[in-house]
Amino acid sequence: MKEVTAGAAGLAIAGSWQSREAAAQKLKYDEYFHDFVYKKGNRGPGDADYYFRMNGKDLNGRNTNFSFGYYSKLGVWDTGAPAGETHPFNECLVFAGLEPKDPNYLGAEVEVSLGKNYEKYTIDVPTIVCVPKDLPHGPIVTKKVEKPFAFYSIGLAGDYQTTKLPGKPSGNASTDEYAHLVKKISTYGRPNQTKVGPGNADWLMWPRAKDLEGFIVNFTWGYYSGLGNWHNIPGFDPHVHEGDEFLCYVGLDPKRPEYLGADIEFHMGKEEEVHWVRKPLVTVCPSMFTHAPIITKKVDKTYAFFLIRTDTGETYSPKKQPAPKA
């Protein structure tokens, strides 16, 4: 009996020590890292194979929402909005390919309607669609698919609010009033970003607010396979931004959305607290929050990264220097 009691006490002490050890390993800035939790799309036959959506409440109370998903199926994306929808915020819709060797390849043909007269636009290369607040848009229909592609949306409000429009699309407008809202990603392409640092992008696109109908946002999409510091510029890191920033790491295998394929070291705060990115997730850096450097330590498979930042993008770090020219 004494032996059993002693053993139980020993286990209790060991368990208590392990709990304290686990608590001691919790880092100050863990709260700014959020895993991507994917689910299957079920709104319509063309909906995402896997996707997630994050609102401001999921992003440390920031005034932004975004989604990301992998798509490979034909048909309308959302049968619950046959006449499209509107949002009370500006939104960017981004159609991106999953082929790092050919950044201008989408692998699909998608039809997007814009405006009350349902102007139809065909997207068959990586494309950004800027949707001003309250502008009717949709339905979105995938017409052809050669290979799966990625899609992400960026909403400039903390809550994703949508109004589904009643009825069915009326007519097929031959006008092109909204053509200026549809922008090819290749326009903003910046190859050989590894010249900035060995761990930086092999290819990157980066439009600013001036390119995005004046929406107060800038964002990227890029493919990464290199090792080392992303910014090999003396004195550049750590840095801050005027706007909130969301740093998103995603894999390029649409059948394994939980797989990133890389080990990345990320420094947070003035203390340069070290965190590790080994799976798809977002790092939230509030306005004027000190962060970086970012150092890629291991790559098993080329991965994708996109940032979203809620400022014009003209100043990369207000304490240091202008943003690199596109």
Number of structural domains the chain divides into = 2
Q: Are residues 220 and 158 in the same domain?
A: no
CB atoms inside a 10 Å sphere around CB 121: 16
Residue 220 domain boundaries:
188-313
Q: What is the CATH number of the domain that holds 141?
A: 2.60.120.10
Domain end position, chosen among 134, 153, 185: 185
Distance CA 186, CA 184 (A): 5
CA proximity to 301, closest of 230, 266, 250? 250
**Is residue 273 domain-resident?**
yes
**Mean pLDDT of all residues in the chain?**
91
Q: What are the Cα distances from residue 224, in Å, to 106, 172, 248?
A: 18, 41, 12
Pair (98, 196) in one structural domain:
no
116 and 221 both lie in a single domain: no
Q: Which residues contact 92 (CB under 8 A, 6 or more apart)?
A: 128, 129, 130, 131, 153, 154, 212, 215, 217, 219
pTM (2 d.p.): 0.90
Q: How many residues does the chain have?
A: 326
Same domain, 113 and 197: no
3-class DSSP assignment, residue 241:
coil
Is 251 in contact with 299 (CB distance < 8 Å)? no
Q: How much is the pLDDT for 163?
A: 96
- Per the domain annotation, does 2 fall within a domain? no
Model pLDDT for residues 26-83, shown as the tens digit of each residue: 899 999 999 999 999 999 999 999 999 999 999 999 999 999 999 999 999 999 999 9
Domain-located, residue 58: yes
Residues 123 and 192 in one domain: no
Same domain for 111 and 232? Answer: no
Residue 87 to residue 161: CA distance in whole angstroms: 6
Distance CA 267, CA 294 (A): 6
Of 244, 213, 233, the residue nearest 293 (C-alpha): 233
What average pLDDT does this structure show over 166-191? 87
8 lies in some domain: no
pLDDT band at 171; cut points 50, 70, 90: low
Contact 38, 152 (CB under 8 A): no
Q: What confidence tens digit (pLDDT) does each residue in 96-126 have? A: 999 999 999 999 999 999 999 999 999 999 9
Environment class of residue 151 by beta-carbon count within 10 Å: exposed (0-12), middle (13-18) or buried (19+)?
buried
